[in-house]
Chains A and B, each alone.
Chain A
Amino acid sequence: MKKNLLKPLVLSALVASTLSVEAHRAWILPQETQLSGEDRWVGFEAAVSNDIFVANYHAVRFNDLVVLQPDGDKHEAENLHTGKYRTVFDVKLEEEGTYKIFTASTGMRAMWEEDGERRMYPGRGEQYTEEGFAENVPEKADKLRIMQSSRRMETFVTLGAPTNETLKPTNTGLELVPVTHPNDLYSGEQATFKFLIDGEPAEGAELTAIREGTRYRNSQDEITAVADKKGEVTLSWKGAGRYFIEVEYKDDKAKKPATERTGSYVTVLEVLPD
């Protein structure tokens, strides 16, 4: 009985922690990204795993999966199902243009010690709320560290010609703004993306891009880049395929009472052969 009750808690905690830190990678993978015709469906998989893109560790459990249709309005994800290692869902593309599929959150995290014991807020599997923060985090404590953190995980699919309405930044957290459209990528060409942290260029943001199929080669063969003053990075692709892209940002320009600001961003982009 006890075991059964604990299980869901442990699972969601694992996903929550892997979205924010090292070790494992969470992703939303579209089957196709550029489509033609009318009323097309695209299938997605969302999982946490080290192998890109082999779902063999944990399914992503969404608290807030959002699908934006090309005009910027919300659209539905259908047939959502969570299996052992992956969550799957479908999106029906009824309008021409670029759809954005994402989950994002912002909040404060705190760590401190009480009577020599480590405490943190939000606790494992817990969601940040302003009230929860006020209730749980002491104003003064041993080794008190407060971080303003944001996470975003997203991907894009386009029916017909790419559009930009859904790519407008919200100016909250770490976000990708296209210079090169994310559904217009080709292996022989370079692509430039701009990253914003709370609406400002995320200078120094560190990007890692890994092409799919890591299981079938001996190295990660990753592409790394650091955002310049304008928050921009330019990538030269290592061949066609779907790429897992992760960006991390950190500075001390946090909203009080936080003293650190962190942003984490993950996307999956498809690069087509020339």
Chain B
Amino acid sequence: MKLIKSGLMTAVAFASFTQAHAADFSVSVEIPKLDVAEYHKPYVAVWIEDNRNQVVSNLAVWYDVDMRNAEGEKWLKDMRQWWRRSGRSLEMPVDGVSGATYGPGAHDLEFTVGESPLADLQPGDYRLRVEAAREVGGRELINIPFSWPQSSEVTFEEQGSSELGAIELTIKP
């Protein structure tokens, strides 16, 4: 019950945020419906790295934020790449980045370059990384390379094969 509530609150926060500012950076993360006996919603991290593998921005980290005694943080390290690149140096939860886990479906995130949590990107090559890890399930990492800025609206797409479905990145000039 608690999880749903905080998920809604995050959505509301995003909505009001995006109304005031034109989003120029949208990410869609699809979580596949899995036919398994024991299903837990996956932990998911979405972040951007530059061409030296340095984390430029954490865009989203979905985990069991509301568990007692920060118990939900116990599995953050299962998003191995995110944990190594960024998570282990962060104080969780992170405002505007942490949120509750989501179930199957496409989940849209919108950001404005230069407005928290998306940094003011310098022109160059980057990659969007989306990592999912599921309790008693698997782990998958999807990378979408992109250049900033773009001269016209463009959508990049990658398809996950196990823990993630379609991942889309749309950049507006």
Contacts and interface: CB of A to CB of B under 8 A. Distances in A.
* Chain A contact patch, size range: 10 to 19
A269 to B, nearest CB: 15
A186 B83 CA distance: 13
Given A272-B80, A273-B80, A37 B71 contact: yes
B80 A38 contact: no
B40 interface: no
Main secondary structure on A side of the interface with B:
loop
Given A160-B88, A161-B88, A184-B84, A38 B73 contact: yes
Interface string A243-274: 00000000000000000000000000000111
B70 interface: yes
Interface in A221-251: none
Interface in B42-82: 69-77, 80-81
A36 B76 contact: yes
B71 A36 contact: no
A43 to B, nearest CB: 15
Given A160-B88, A161-B88, A161-B89, A37 B74 contact: yes
A152 B75 CA distance: 32
B63 to A, nearest CB: 10
B117 interface: no
Pick the most buried of A37, A39, A40, A273: most chain B CB atoms within 10 A of its CB. A37
Contacts of A36: 73-77, 83, 87-88
Interface residues of B, number: 16
B77 A34 contact: yes
Contacts of A272: 80
Contacts of B87: 36
Contact of A38 (B70, B75, B84, B88): B70
Nearest to B86: A161
A37 B80 contact: no
A35 interface: yes
A159 to B, nearest CB: 9
A257 B73 CA distance: 55
A160 B92 CA distance: 11
Interface in B138-169: none
A36 B70 CA distance: 10
Interface in A183-217: 184, 186
B70 A37 contact: yes
A184 B72 CA distance: 22
Interface string A37-51: 111100000000000
A189 to B, nearest CB: 11
A125 B115 CA distance: 67
Contacts of A186: 84
Q: Which 3 A-B pairs have the closest CB atoms?
A: A37-B73, A36-B77, A36-B76
Interface of A: 34-40, 160-162, 184, 186, 272-274
8 contacts: A34-B83, A36-B87, A37-B72, A39-B69, A161-B88, A162-B88, A184-B84, A272-B80
Given A34-B77, A36-B76, 6 more contacts: A34-B88, A36-B74, A37-B72, A40-B74, A161-B88, A184-B84
